[in-house]
A and B are shown apart, each in its own frame.
Chain A
Amino acid sequence: MDHRAPDKTIERTVLLVLVALVLFASPVMFAWAQDNSPWYTPYVLWAAVIAGAALIGRRRKDV
């Protein structure tokens, strides 16, 4: 019997995509897309999603 902890990659992936959708495809956009927001705001959010994807990749157990 395999007693290793289950790989939660899929759960993490879905969570990350949900976060990305909340940030970039929901009314939450209006919060960061203000005229007085710094120019780099979308880039920072984008980089955060990329960092999340990289983190998921590093924690995968089936490598």
Chain B
Amino acid sequence: MFSLTALFSAIFLYLCLLFLIAYATEHGKLPAGLARHPLTYVLSLGVYATTWTYYGSVGFAASQGYTFLTIYLGVTIAFALTPVLMEPLLRLIREYQLTSLADLFAFRFRSQAAGIMVTLFMLAGTLPYIALQIRAVTESIHVLTQEAAPKALAFGFCVVLILFAILFGARHVTPREKHEGLVVAIAFESLVKLVALMTVGLFAVFGVLGGFSGVERWLQDNPGALESLYQPIREGSWTTLLFLAFGAAFLLPRQFHMAFTENIDPGSLRVAAWGFPLFLLLLNLPIPFILWAGQSLSAGADADYYVLGITLGSGSQLLTVFALLGGVSAASAMMIVTTVALSAMALNHLVLPASIPDPTLNLYRWLLWGRRVVIAVIVLAGYGFYVALEHNQRLVELGLISFVAVAQFLPGVVGVLYWDNANRNGFLAGLAGGALLWFVMLFVPLIDAGAPANAGISLQPWLEYTGMDKWTFVTFWSLTVNAGLFVLVSLVTRQSPDEADAASACVNETILPRGGVLEVGTTDEFTEQLARLIGDDMAHKEVQLALKDLGLPADETNPSNLHRLRDRIERNLSGLLGPELARSVVNQQLRMDSKTQNLFADSIRIIEERLETSQMRMRGLLGELDSLRRYHRQVLEKLPSGVCSVGPGGEIVIWNHAMSTLSGVAPVDAVGRRLGRLPEPWCDLLDGFLEGEATALTKIHAVVDGESRWLNLHKAYLGRVPGVAMAERVRESTGTVLLVEDTTEKHKLEAELAHADRLASLGRLAAGVAHEVGNPVTGIACLAQNLRDETDDPGVRRGVGQILDQTRRISAIVRSLVSFSHGGQEPENKEPVNISECVGEAVELVRLSRSGRGTDCVNRCDSALYVLGVRQKMLQVFVNLLTNACQASGDEQPVTVFTRGGSGWVEICVQDLGSGIDPGNIEKVFDPFFTTKEPGEGTGLGLPLVYNIVKEHDGHIDISSPESGGTLVRMRFREARSAESGLSTAARS
């Protein structure tokens, strides 16, 4: 026999080792990847196996044969359903920062009452289970010491576990930060109980039964042994227990906590789908051997404790203590994780709704300590239950009571995942009905002094009448009432809009923002508003955290992004305060303008984001529709005209690429913003057009980035989109689409055409004038010459000479007019003209004139370049340009003519360093009769003539005059190539 002190010391040392492992993990003393390893996750799920498994399975097998396997086969089926059950739940829980089953139901049914009810029921259903663990530990000590374990020992055990749970299970308040120390310690505990049970199993086979051949012999000698294992399968409550275990696999608080809340890597769940059932199989493999070993030894002890009983005869105290520690690890892991899980539920759904702390306090600290106090209260309540409990139930009885309790959440979970019409009234009614039956038929008899007997009596007539066993009867009726009420009440009552949103989030993985436009407009206002309820420090941290999560800048003002920020803050707070309280805080402090419609842009954005990032691959018609959506989206994006769609609330929904290029406003900055908050000139232009009655405006002038632009605007009103959830809320219209057409180039072309037309009119006028004036002038000149010839009077001859000078001048003007009037006509006889030669000839001619004598004209043209044209006209161009350049230049300011050749074109530049042209006159120099020369010195037809000749030759001319002085005239012609003349190529070769 062992002394109580020795065993207590062993337990204490084991728990110290557990502290050490958790501490080493939290402080980075163990490999960083350990906590994230899928094997650690699988082992941490092993918290499912409590003392019920460790000790109770043998007792269960003794009384119910292989029925004990149902408790693990149910889990196997639940985990086999990982892709359709566990993964959707995990996604939902991670996405919305939910920490417990109560959070999940409170979120889905938008009901604090649901959270409170689930928490209370979970507490009531789990306390017997906690009491079971304490009892198993004290009774196992009793088996080894044959002394009644004092209550103080049980109390000491509880205190150590409270300390552990507080230190390693309540280090962080937010579910974003995982308790890696706790995860690794629980995984270690699972490993200990697996190795301990396997060791005891091996001892049973080889130490008691004489090896596998001995097992065979023993079975032959005891033919009833196998029969007693198989018979209950055919007769007992196999299917019911399978179903209960299925639910318990993920609904028990400890399972939910380890599988979802403490899940570090979602990918680990795929390994757990087979790894966790494999762990359970290995754990249960030794059970038949231990049972047979116990029976062969007639161990005497309760079959529940054969695991310890058979080791007493081994002579190895180490083996016995190891077996005991396996049981301690099973009990401690369950108690720690369960209390941590329940504490989060109790804090979020019982404590916080009753008393929101003063915002001047540090809320993080308050929550942390609140959780720690709740942990202590729950463990001590479990201890109280243990003390008050009659000790005549089998371990399995206490465990199954909890299983039936959590099975009451199954209809709710199915509703959460697959039925979007389920509502809070149905859930509450169903849960209340199921819980009431559970309470009356299982819980009351448990706490009643003469419980089992009375319970049997009270249920016995019903059991005999229906032919069911107790577990099947209670499970069937409680769940039938539960599911029946759930469905019935859900069908006859209506969902609230909030609930419909949450249902959509759970079933379709989409949630649409509700409630209109935010009243706050900056992140600072977010912080300021939140601080009133949760304090400055927490408000600042939460806003910064949400901004970081979304990758938004601290000065974000885009309403659509602020909407996302609000959603993110609500989700993050949900992890701290529970979904309902978080929603209440956010709704109260970050109000929406309820008079305004929803941000339609948000709805569109969220739907598109969901479609782009959806985990589900779309197939069939759905896939084709998605391809069609992408095609239409691409058409809109690539449309060469600017498209801007405006939602019913006035916010921009679509801002395509052309619109972005035209306005310089990126889509990310425009979408979600109101038209009136765009930069100038777009805000007034588009907002005014939207508000106005006209459906089209043409030739609207706007200055964009300092440049003049001419725009055509069109608009069309959009109708309601049928069958789209978001459109259901927008009954009248889904907004307006604006089309912005940039007609600047067209406008310039029209101006050029008008100019050419004006020149043509002037040309016709000039021709007429020249014809009408030319003939009388010729007559005057003839008469004057006759008069000069007929007289010798010097005075008369001088006067006649002046008349002839003036008539020559008139004739020169008339010739110019005639030349100009011929402009624009298609020249005939075009031939390749060598630019260099032509310029050289022009330079010679200009030198003969008075203005050209004092100026140096330099010909730097490439002698190999030709253009197709009329030589005389080209000469006229260069003469006119060089004459103008010489007149503008001083004696020491040379005029240079140079060329630049390209692929198929020739650029000829005439550059002078003279006085230049006033910027205001640049645009007028090609206008006929415009001149800056003194009256009588210029006709104002030189440059217009040049312009006409250049245009006749399909060329282009522009003139520029930098502020530093001088003028540069650039002309561009098509190069005469071999295909047309063969000369250019020949000249080059």
Contacts and interface: CB of A to CB of B under 8 A. Distances in A.
The residue among A43, A50, A51 with the most chain B CB atoms within 10 A of its own CB is A50
B90 interface: no
Contact of A29 (B81, B231, B238): B238
11 contacts: A1-B627, A17-B80, A25-B238, A33-B234, A37-B226, A46-B69, A46-B76, A49-B76, A49-B77, A50-B277, A50-B281
B623 A2 contact: yes
Contacts of B271: 57
Contacts of A9: 83
Interface string B44-73: 000000000000000000000010011011
Contact of B226 (A13, A14, A16, A39): A39
Contacts of B79: 53
B80 A10 contact: no
Interface of B: 66, 69-70, 72-73, 76-77, 79-84, 219, 226-227, 229-231, 233-234, 238-239, 242, 267, 270-271, 273-274, 277-278, 281, 284-285, 288, 615, 617, 619, 623, 627
Contact of A42 (B66, B81, B270): B66
A53 B80 CA distance: 6
Contact of A49 (B80, B226, B227, B267): B80
A50 B278 contact: yes
B28 to A, nearest CB: 29
Given A25-B242, A50-B277, A57-B270, A35 B76 contact: no
Q: Interface on chain B toward A: helix, strand, loop, or mixed SS?
A: helix
B230 A16 contact: no
Most buried by A among B233, B271, B615: B233
B233 A13 contact: no
Nearest to A13: B83
A30 B234 contact: yes
A13 B76 contact: no
A54 B167 CA distance: 36
B239 A16 contact: no
A6 B81 CA distance: 19
Contact of B66 (A16, A21, A33, A63): A33
B244 to A, nearest CB: 13
B620 to A, nearest CB: 9
Interface of A: 1-2, 4, 6-7, 9-10, 13-14, 16-17, 20-21, 24-25, 29-30, 33-37, 39, 42-43, 46-47, 49-54, 56-57, 60, 62-63
A29 B285 CA distance: 19
A50 B234 contact: no
A21 B77 contact: yes
Contacts of B238: 25, 29
A33 to B, nearest CB: 4
Contact of A39 (B72, B229, B267, B270): B229
A33 B232 CA distance: 9
Contacts of A13: 80-84
Pick the 10 closest A-B CB pairs, nearest first: A54-B274, A53-B274, A33-B233, A35-B227, A53-B80, A33-B230, A50-B277, A57-B270, A9-B83, A13-B83
A42 to B, nearest CB: 6
A42 B285 CA distance: 10
B77 A17 contact: yes
A10 B234 contact: no
Nearest to A62: B615
Contacts of B76: 20, 46, 49-50, 53
B84 A43 contact: no
Contacts of A53: 76, 79-80, 82, 273-274, 277
Contact of A43 (B227, B281, B623): B281
A28 B908 CA distance: 99
Nearest to A35: B227
A32 B692 CA distance: 81
A29 B67 CA distance: 12
A15 B112 CA distance: 39
A49 B270 CA distance: 15
Nearest to B215: A39
B83 A10 contact: yes
A51 B80 CA distance: 10
A43 B68 CA distance: 12
A20 B77 CA distance: 7
Nearest to B219: A39
A62 B233 CA distance: 39
B80 A16 contact: yes
Interface of A is mostly: helix
Contacts of B231: 35
Contacts of A43: 281, 284-285
A61 B435 CA distance: 42
B414 to A, nearest CB: 15
B166 to A, nearest CB: 37
Nearest to B630: A1
B617 A6 contact: yes
Contacts of A4: 617
A49 B230 contact: no
A50 B483 CA distance: 30
Contacts of B242: 24-25
Contacts of A6: 617, 619
Given A42-B69, A46-B281, A60 B80 contact: no
Nearest to A29: B233
B80 A34 contact: no
A21 B81 CA distance: 12
B226 A57 contact: no
Contacts of B623: 1-2
B80 A2 contact: no
A47 B281 contact: yes
A34 B285 CA distance: 19
Contacts of A57: 270-271, 273-274
A34 B230 contact: yes
A63 to B, nearest CB: 7
A1 B619 CA distance: 11
A24 B78 CA distance: 13
Q: Which of B76, B285, B615 gathers most chain A CB within 10 Å?
A: B76
B65 to A, nearest CB: 9
A46 B73 contact: yes
A17 B644 CA distance: 51
B214 to A, nearest CB: 14
Given A24-B73, A35-B230, A42-B69, A63 B617 contact: no
Contacts of B229: 39
B863 to A, nearest CB: 61
A7 B617 contact: yes
Nearest to A53: B274
B80 A37 contact: no
Contacts of A46: 69, 72-73, 76, 277, 281
Contacts of A37: 226, 230
A52 B234 contact: no
A29 B84 contact: no
Contacts of B70: 24
B519 to A, nearest CB: 41
Nearest to B278: A50
Nearest to B223: A35
A56 B277 CA distance: 14
B230 A50 contact: no
A52 B80 contact: yes
A49 B280 CA distance: 13
Contacts of A34: 230
Contacts of A50: 76, 274, 277-278, 281
A14 B77 CA distance: 10
A6 B803 CA distance: 102
A10 B281 CA distance: 24
Nearest to A14: B84
A55 to B, nearest CB: 9
Contacts of B83: 9-10, 13, 56, 60
Contacts of A33: 66, 230, 233-234
A29 B242 CA distance: 13
Most B CB contacts (10 A, CB to CB) among A1, A30, A35, A56 go to A35
Contacts of B69: 42, 46
